[in-house]
Amino acid sequence: MITSTSNPQVKQLQLLQKKAKERELQDVFVVEGVKMYREAPKDRLVHTYVSESFLRKNPSVFEGVEPLTELSDRVFESVSDTKTPQGVLCLVRRCHHTLRVLLEEYREDSVSGSMAGTATIGQPSAVRAPLILILENLQDPGNLGTILRTAEGAGVTGVLLSRDCVDIYNPKVIRSTMGSVYRVPFCYSQDWRGDLDRLKRQGVRLYAAHLKGEKYYDGISYREPSAFLIGNESRGLTEETAAMADAYIRIPMCGQVESLNAAVAASILMYEANRQRRD
């Protein structure tokens, strides 16, 4: 059991919680809590850390788990990003998707079926056209996490992020994804204009949520391959990005509301696509 906060492993964990650069270098991220531990893909689980009192209460949970390191409660608190830590955290290997994955046709079993072990050979799986979310310069960790959570729920096939978005492995983002960070394919674009162009050439229509939108968001069909462009919380999309859209769409607003929260706007759009695709 580690009982000192100056232990090198402890120092390392603290760095991984705080620094995006360090997470990138080590190619891992930290997840906290029982739910996030349970849902972590086993083939990507690198190391599990448990607090002394949590291990004492739940010894059977960690039978056979390795590598497993026990930390004194005080040390565990020093590496936790939450005020009232549950007592378990782990390092998970990061995922490296490319734009191609976001473009693959979505098979229902690739998300829930295969993990629940219900995919049956010979039984055709439901195939859906790509439904992509494109995020430009999103800055609020809570917003990004919430968007990922809703994206999984709405059946989004992938998320493309501009390089200046907040780090998706930031502990606050991870927490608000409620596990969706493991399951929704995403990638940071290394060539923004090029990637948007590639999506368009593959037949994906790009819809910009924009205050200048001429059409209401629910006046368009998203049954074909579609992507929603969502911009920064206060400035919206850059002009260059908005100019690449096939159409501007608008969420109508009553009263004196000038814009909606970015996660709310994205959610309304994703669920409109979900609604249409269920019809």
Interacting residue ranges for its own copies, rule: CB under 8 A: 39, 108, 111-112, 115, 142, 146, 149-150, 152-155, 176, 178-180, 183-184, 216, 218, 251-261, 263-264, 267-268, 271-272, 274-275, 278
Query: Which C-beta is closer to its own copies: that of 48 or that of 150?
Result: 150
Q: Between residues 183 and 200, which has the closer beta carbon with respect to its own copies? A: 183
- Kindly tell me which of 189 and 226 has the beta carbon lying closer to its own copies: 226
Least distance CB 136 / its own copies (angstroms): 20
Of 41 and 203, CB closest to its own copies = 41
The enclosing H or E element of 54 equals helix 52-57
User: What are the DSSP calls for 208-273, one per residue?
Assistant: EE-TT-SEEGGGS--SSSEEEEE-BTTTBS-HHHHHT-SEEEE----TT-----HHHHHHHHHHHH
In order, the DSSP letters of 61-92 are GGTT-SSEEEE-HHHHHHH-SSSS--SEEEEE
The C-alpha atoms of residue 221 and residue 27 are separated, in whole angstroms, by: 39
Nearer to its own copies, 223 or 275 (CB): 275
Min separation Cβ 199 and its own copies, Å: 21
Least CB distance from residue 234 to its own copies, whole Å?
11
**All residues at 6 or more sequence positions from 16 whose CB lies less than 8 Å from its CB, including other chains:** 22, 23, 26, 28, 29, 30, 91
Contacts of 61 (CB under 8 A, 6+ apart): none
Distance from C-alpha of 77 to C-alpha of 74, rounded to nearest angstrom: 5
31 burial via Cβ count (<10 Å: 0-12, 13-18, 19+) = buried
Q: Select 75 or 154, whichever has its Cβ closest to its own copies.
A: 154
Smallest separation, CB 149 to its own copies (Å) = 6
Smallest separation (angstroms) from its own copies to the CB of 72: 28
Strand bridging mode 106-107 / 127-128: antiparallel
Question: Minimal distance in Å, beta carbon 85 to its own copies?
Answer: 17
